[in-house]
Chain A
Amino acid sequence: QVTLRESGPALVKPTQTLTLTCTFSGFSLSTSGMCVSWIRQPPGKALEWLARIDWGDDKYYSTSLKTRLTISKDTSKNQVVLTMTNMDPVDTATYYCARNGRGNSYAFDIWGQGTIVTVSS
């Protein structure tokens, strides 16, 4: 059974750096074609893709946020970490990690439950 779970602070202050961890099981990020992405959703708004890391350690970022984002993986721990610098209240959202892969045209087939992050002083 494939599962993903997001963890991180529920509250961050403006200008701080957010660090989120996605811990997964049931698949390996060292398997060719496998990827993990981060997606967020502000309250009452649409989904927004943030970043993706691939089995070969290739990394891709949202054009509008790439200067603030860093994605990395620890294959031995089955974890993917996303950092976002210079947090602002507009970054308040539910943050999801999701598996995607070449086998299903990189659709996000399994999602974590999401973690709510509020940015406020």
Chain B
Amino acid sequence: SYVLTQPPSVSVAPGQTARITCGENNIGSKSVHWYQQKPGQAPVLVIYYDSARPSGIPERFSGSNSGNTATLTISRVEAGDEADYYCQVWDGSLGIFGGGTKLTVL
């Protein structure tokens, strides 16, 4: 079965760049979506189709996907970016989420 592997946590200082990875064999052949979830809130789509940004999402959020790893990059990190981040793909008709990464802004 398809399993998406994310690091449990990533820490970064304000103003620096955060990179959150999502790994699985040949994930580059799939469309990867990324969601941000703050405590007590529903998830919000921040990147879809590997690197597309929904309306209203800052340009600081970007995505890439190649080979066995997809990456969400957050540039010039702000305190408000502190949240859990989840990657997601469709394996055929099955929805698959990664285990989530807690981004801590130091």
Interface residue ranges, A against B (CB under 8 Å): 37, 39, 46-49, 52, 60, 62-63, 96, 104-109, 111-114
Contact = CB atoms under 8 A, between A and B. Distances in A.
B106 interface: no
Given A47-B86, A48-B97, A107-B33, 19 more contacts: A39-B97, A46-B86, A46-B100, A47-B37, A47-B100, A49-B88, A49-B94, A52-B93, A60-B93, A60-B94, A62-B94, A62-B95, A96-B43, A106-B31, A107-B88, A108-B33, A109-B54, A111-B42, A113-B42
Main SS class of interface, B: strand
Interface residues of B, number: 24
19 contacts: A47-B35, A47-B37, A47-B86, A47-B97, A49-B94, A49-B96, A52-B95, A60-B93, A62-B94, A62-B95, A96-B42, A96-B43, A104-B52, A105-B49, A106-B90, A107-B31, A107-B45, A107-B48, A114-B42
Contacts of B93: 52, 60
Contact of A105 (B31, B42, B98, B100): B31
A63 B3 CA distance: 13
